[in-house]
Structure 1
């Protein structure tokens, strides 16, 4: 394959970016970092406001769940827009809507007007914006950097998003303690506004969505969204990875949201700091993974080996954490040390999976389906989060949190053992950096037989 063919999606990359990732890439990702901090802290501030007004932990959990559910749904329902319109404009629109929503919520707080339906609608809107914008921040990488730098760009994005995960709870806690929910919403509105202005400095080409098709906007959206899920199913390597990720999310999401806090509350009352330390270890693992560990491991064992090793580290992290709590009950120091170390490795494992899978997805997917592939995969795996939360609570009441952690960790290991037998994952992940470009069109030609409906397109310069 010629270099011209390899770089066909990077023709708009400015010359100064040929030797590096460039200003526009960093503008998008710094904006994503600020938006991630702003929206997550804003969601927590609203939920905290609800807790202060109602005194109900159920209300707190419900408001958090609303934002998560809206985000997951938006990935599946609105991925088509990223393949149809200029991605940086959609990202900027999402930031503007999020900032405006948080400002309205801040004004409601200042006026002392607590309305549960207004808060729920605001959190849902912020969640939708996150669900639409997050896949695009990865999809747009292919148009902002040369092909040979895509993996580096995905690693750099991973570090920034991991930093947001690490700093988010700290920033939210400090802000809520100093300026309460209203001040936190104002600060986060400013952060998301800054993200909006950063993205306005970016110029990315309009996606090649194919020829326009007659019909309404609604019909074009419906068919385009349906084709996104059809394409995910047809690309068997992505479909198998999505199933594996669904099992992992089934276990991982409730680990930090339910199991560890509940375990500490029951076994070590008065030691809430332990939750922050243990979960902080996972966040540190996310940062370490993006700082070079992934590159070294992937070169040593290949992308397929890195992905399965990463999932294995996740499962083992949960098994070890549950085992130390089960077999040595009541020992706070031992639990904190062992769980923090094991979950740090689990964090590295998650980055091993995400960077390798996202890099291949960005390079192998055709331009007309790239964002839908990102969004559909995220939607499919994200569906497990609310289900996992529900069942983890039921199992914890029946068997205890530590046994539930052991069982869910073992479930991940079993799923990895089954998925490692997938010839589709092994074949795609074993491709060279050159051969992986647009590989899905070559390896799965039947998936692209049906033209993607386009509908109205953004043809402005």
Structure 2
């Protein structure tokens, strides 16, 4: 496992970590603005949840497919360079969307094309980002780095939600999309200033690039398939993500069509979700020690289903914001312990590939869920769609207890998780 040098211990998370996170903070703010603007633009032009899902679902599917295909690059090339390339690519494409919005040229096929192409940039970014943090901090600081990452992401989403809603209300869609584009360029500049060597360890030399890519891609998929706890969690997570997919298009519909509220309220809901995520990231350590990460994950998923079902029927303006706050905090409590253990448990020269394969498995059902949600909202309405989705999600949570080694893996300390997959399943990495 490639980690930052020993001299970084006891010196905080370090310059490189905060350079990386500050750059991504800027891009998260911009991206939140861009997503609110894009959703509002589509609903304003079409008034249709089904049309919105016809853009979001294919783009999500492209991102899910490309992530494992590009993931082997993260185990062969400098991860910093992949992150920079992904940010620059997305910045250019969102600049194109901003130009379209400014000119009043609403072409559904062109918006879909640009948004789908941005998925390639996201997949390239993910190939580098999935394994870079252990190269920037010491082993002892890995859990703290993951907690700070979750908190920084949430701060960005808070600021982005508030800024996005206010920008769309005050100056319209083009300004928010332009901010999104510029934020990617700023993030690329921050990542370029990182001094740490982010080259993966254990990189094989020589051979055909195509053969190396094919071998590494299949190796990552094979390794994940031979680690039963990862495979089992990924399968259950795929169906949970299908159940939660309606929220991706449901929030703009809830605000604009069901409640007839302005864009700033959509931004407030996004911000409430992120405030909750920050609160959850600070509470997760104590809750994990008291209850155990396995119980937190199962119980948290069941609670998320309840919150989803209640969201469309919550009264007045305050109750939906409170539910979004609870959603965000519970998501952090569910995700952080799992992410920390998986990151530590994977061998460094497999981390990006296995992470890409896991991301594909967890996310492959989400585009189908978004497409189904668009049709369901159009046919049955938002409250009924969210009710069924919430019940399904709550019912799926306990299935994690059937995954082999689930309890044992989630109960590992951070130190025990380090290199765990190689020790527990050595044949998966031969």
**Superposition TM-score, scaled by structure 1 size:** 0.82
Structure 1 gap segments, 5+ residues each: 1-7, 326-330, 450-461
SS at match of 1:211: coil
Check conservation: 1:63, 1:120, Cα contact below 8 A.
yes
Per the alignment, residue 206 of structure 1 pairs with 199
Higher relative contact order (CA 8 A, sep 6+): 2
Change (3 A) 1:183 1:85: same
Match of 1:172 among 161, 164, 169: 164
Change (3 A) 1:162 1:131: farther
Check conservation: 1:268, 1:332, Cα contact below 8 A.
no
Match of 2:341 among 360, 365, 379: 360
Check conservation: 2:33, 2:164, Cα contact below 8 A.
yes
Match of 1:377 among 358, 362, 372: 358
Q: How does 1:277-296 map to 2 (within 5 A)?
A: 280-290=271-281, 292-296=282-286
The Cα of 1:262 is off from its aligned counterpart by 4.6
Cα distance in 1 for partners of 2:217, 2:377 equals 37
The Cα of 1:55 is off from its aligned counterpart by 4.7
Change (3 A) 1:408 1:149: same
RMSD: 3.1
Per the alignment, residue 391 of structure 1 pairs with 372
Per the alignment, residue 417 of structure 1 pairs with 398
Cα distance in 2 for partners of 1:108, 1:340 equals 32
* Structure label with greater radius of gyration: 1
SS at match of 2:418: coil
Which moves more between the two structures, 386-395 or 418-427?
386-395
**Superposition TM-score, scaled by structure 2 size:** 0.87
The answer to whether residue 2 in structure 2 is matched with residue 9 in structure 1 is yes
The Cα of 1:89 is off from its aligned counterpart by 1.0
Per the alignment, residue 159 of structure 1 pairs with 151
Per the alignment, residue 12 of structure 2 pairs with 20
The Cα of 1:145 is off from its aligned counterpart by 0.7
Check conservation: 2:168, 2:263, Cα contact below 8 A.
no
Match of 1:332 among 312, 315, 328: 315
Change (3 A) 1:256 1:211: closer
- Count of residues in Structure 1 that have an aligned counterpart in Structure 2: 428
Cα distance in 2 for partners of 1:220, 1:349 equals 40
Check conservation: 2:246, 2:389, Cα contact below 8 A.
no
Check conservation: 2:83, 2:125, Cα contact below 8 A.
yes
Which moves more between the two structures, 179-188 or 304-313?
179-188
The answer to whether residue 301 in structure 2 is matched with residue 307 in structure 1 is no
The Cα of 1:193 is off from its aligned counterpart by 1.6
Check conservation: 1:73, 1:379, Cα contact below 8 A.
yes
Match of 1:238 among 230, 253, 277: 230
Change (3 A) 1:267 1:222: same
SS at match of 2:417: coil
Per the alignment, residue 139 of structure 2 pairs with 147
Per the alignment, residue 247 of structure 1 pairs with 239
Cα distance in 2 for partners of 1:318, 1:94 equals 32
The Cα of 1:107 is off from its aligned counterpart by 5.1
The answer to whether residue 60 in structure 2 is matched with residue 68 in structure 1 is yes
Structure 2 gap segments, 5+ residues each: none
Q: How does 1:13-52 map to 2 (within 5 A)?
A: 13=5, 15-16=7-8, 18-42=10-34, 45=37
Q: How does 1:255-270 map to 2 (within 5 A)?
A: 255-258=247-250, 261-262=252-253, 268=259
Cα distance in 1 for partners of 2:32, 2:62 equals 14
Change (3 A) 1:346 1:103: closer
